[in-house]
Structure 1
Amino acid sequence: MLSPRKTPFEYIKQSVENEGYLPTELIARLPKHWRRIGTVGIIELHTSLWPWKEKIGQNYLSGISELSTIMQKVGVTTTTIRTPGYEVLAGNPDTVTLHKELGCKFWIDALRLTFSTGNHAERQRLIKITTEGEQIIDMFACVGNLSVPISVHHPTVEVKGVEINSYAYSFLEKNIQVNHLKERYQPIFGDNQTHTPINWADRVLMGYFELTPRQLEVALQALKQDQGGIVHTHGLTTARQPFNWRQTIEKLILEKFPYFQLKDTKQRVIKSIAPGVHHFVDDIHIIRKN
């Protein structure tokens, strides 16, 4: 009788045990799950495993099919150009890859640019709630992470994506081309505080954790003055420190947008970032005041 086929993790664990370099008591700390962006695999190693990280990376590269590179997460995404905290452990040091998701193609440098596979459900949700004919501004477009899927699945929707990072912008242009979106997706290179169109959008995407009141003001300026629209803000929250932008939005409307009023806000958890810390999105519905 044939023995059951090993899972990739069982194969990796067996390989590490056979090679004998890792102390037995640390075997249980090998990560059972990993993320995948195109042909790049991303693992998170406990710090106790770091002395053997390159060897462990090689075992994961051998054990997971169709991967060319293994990286590990060593820090958080930083700065306004959203540089992820990764390092290459094994395989090809060239981390430019083609990632396919939701019928879309994303060219991306997985080491140097952020693309969270954990946001898959949010990308699906945005596709579902968008209606044909909308005009959408993505103020933090990166490579089109949130807005390219909307454009692919809604041929009558117009999108303008603003990106400040020249390296990310080059991939955004490429992704617009490979997904055949040139007629309905306009990339805009520059700072969203100065380059975001005014009085144009039905929906504004703000996929960035460290938003400022000034950027929220720009988002409200971007909405159509005669009807308002929806602004999607992202952030981090904990059970002890719940957070949303409601008070800031209300203050901005009172001081600078007397023709608007806040209809409602809805908060949704997208994923867990760390124990007790969650990535959330607020759907902020702004309407024209009667």
Structure 2
Amino acid sequence: MERQCIKIPKKKGEPARRILLDFEILDISLKIGSDESFLYLPLSRELLLHELTELPAEAKLAEFNFEPQKNKPTPEDILGFSPAYELIGDVALLEDSDLDSQKALRIAYVLLQTHSNIKTVLRPLTPVIGEFRLRDFEVVAGEPRTETVHREYGCRYKVDLAKAYFTPRLSTERSRILSWIKEGDVVVDMFAGVGPYSILLAKSKKPSKVVAIDKNPVAVHYLIENITFNSAKNIEAIEGDAREEAKKFAGTADHVIMNLPHNAYEFLDSAVLLTKPGGIIHYYGMTPEDDLFESSIKLIREAAEKAGRQVEVLEERVVRSYAPHQYNICIEIRII
């Protein structure tokens, strides 16, 4: 099976392997290849630039024909079905809210048995609710905690899932936003949480400054810790209401990230205020399938016109399905 890989001298192979494991991009379904001088480490996806620079200087991208690893028993092999769960760091979060306690416990033990990287299995007791988008959890099995460290695109995010919102499902979306940022840009992340957008953008070394705002004091505590954790130098972390903070940074942002999909429309006046002429708002919303974009664009246009400004729609996209007939969408819109 031919796959993109890291080709590296054998004496540097173990440090590189550990870095790829830490980034969670070593394809463990394939056997590591070798010849007389080099190791070939299979990749599960393309490396980002800042990830490549973390590897030893001798590391090169290459292609190699890999052999698959021998199959280990999967949860499906043992249970007879594929359990639905989300993996956040070393925590497995069961997704089926209708599971009874006995079935949840069986699934949890099987996940712990078949996945050495899972240390805790949680079951949500409530949907995402409240101003800070939190859920109550039950520890079904494993270590009794809700705190974990999640790795994504070479960044690490420490988070307590019961006290600060975080989802790994937007990892691809966070990487996509990176492609919009140019060197020297100023970015304002209006609802930064523990920092998954802000830190990835800052680590890319493209923006001159990232302003990361959140109203949840626990989220900001983790945000500050994660900034240090990831050696991100160009982030200003602020605990506060995005409406009030927008007044301090009016007209400075090349990009404004509005990742609060259920309520972002309430902050559009502030987002427009933040955006410099020609700047871009990355607006996230939850919309029905029969009106994916038009109502949201109308709200953005109205907020801009109120400030005497115009808009140019650059891109409309569905990020993911959220519920039956309801979608998480993103609109990129330039404020002129």
What TM-score comes out, normalization by structure 2 length?
0.73
Find 1:81's aligned residue among 132, 148, 171: 132
> For 1:88 and 1:171, how far apart are their aligned partners in 2?
21
Match for residue 8 of structure 1? 74
The CA deviation string for residues 59-95 of structure 1, in whole angstroms up to 9 with x for no partner, is 2222222111011244432222121354321111222
- Which whole-Å CA distance do the structure 2 matches of 1:114 and 1:48 have between them? 23
- Structure 1 residues 107, 48: CA separation in 2 closer, same or farther (over 3 Å shift)? closer
**Which deviates more from structure 2 when the two are superposed, residues 42-51 or residues 209-218?**
42-51
Aligned to 1:282: 331
| Letter of the structure 1 residue corresponding to residue 263 of structure 2 | L
- Taking structure 1 as reference, are residues 48 and 110 closer, same or farther at Cα in structure 2, changes over 3 Å only? closer
Which amino acid counterpart does residue 99 of structure 1 have in structure 2? H
Task: Measure how far apart 1:46 and its partner are.
Answer: 5.6
Deviations 1:188-227 (A, max 9, x none): 1111111232111010001112225541000011112xx2
Give the secondary structure class of the aligned counterpart of 1:220: helix
Amino acid at match of 2:236: Q
Question: Which amino acid in 1 is paired with 2:103?
Answer: W
The 2-side partners of 1:155 and 1:241 are apart by 35
Unpaired runs of at least 5, structure 1: 14-26
State the match for 1:229 in structure 2: 279
Contact 1:98 1:107 in 2 (8 A): yes
**How many residues matched?**
264
Is the contact between residue 190 and residue 257 of structure 2 (CA under 8 Å) also seen in structure 1?
Answer: yes
CA deviation profile, 1:100-129 (whole Å, cap 9, x unmatched): 111111111133322211101101101122
Q: CA offset at residue 156 of structure 1? A: 4.3
CA distance in 1, matches of 2:291, 2:300: 19
Contact 1:71–1:88 under 8 Å retained in 2: yes
Letter in 2 for 1:236: M
1:261 Cα offset (Å): 1.0
Letter in 2 for 1:277: Q
Contact 1:140 1:206 in 2 (8 A): yes
Are the structure 2 counterparts of residues 95 and 284 from structure 1 closer, same or farther at C-alpha, using a change threshold of 3 Å? same
* Residue 117, structure 1, aligned to residue 168, structure 2: yes
- Aligned equivalent of 1:136, options 177, 184, 187: 187
Asked if 1:263 is matched to 2:277, the reply is: no
**Preserved CA contact (<8 Å) 2:264 2:284:** no
Q: Sequence identity, in percent?
A: 28
- SS at 1:47's partner residue? coil
Give the alignment partner of residue 208 of structure 1, picking from 260, 276, 279: 260
Q: Where does residue 22 of structure 1 map in the other structure? A: none
Q: In angstroms, what is the RMSD of aligned CA positions? A: 2.1
Aligned partners of 1:201, 1:46: CA distance in 2, in Å? Answer: 40
Q: In 2, Cα distance between the equivalents of 1:246 and 1:40?
A: 37
2:217 match: 166
- What secondary structure is seen at the aligned counterpart in 1 of 2:252? coil
CA distance in 2, matches of 1:212, 1:235: 7
1:248 matched residue in structure 2: 299
The match for 1:193 among 227, 230, 243 is: 243
What TM-score do you get using the length of structure 1 for normalisation?
A: 0.83
1:45 match: 96
One-letter amino acid of the structure 1 residue matched with residue 262 of structure 2: E
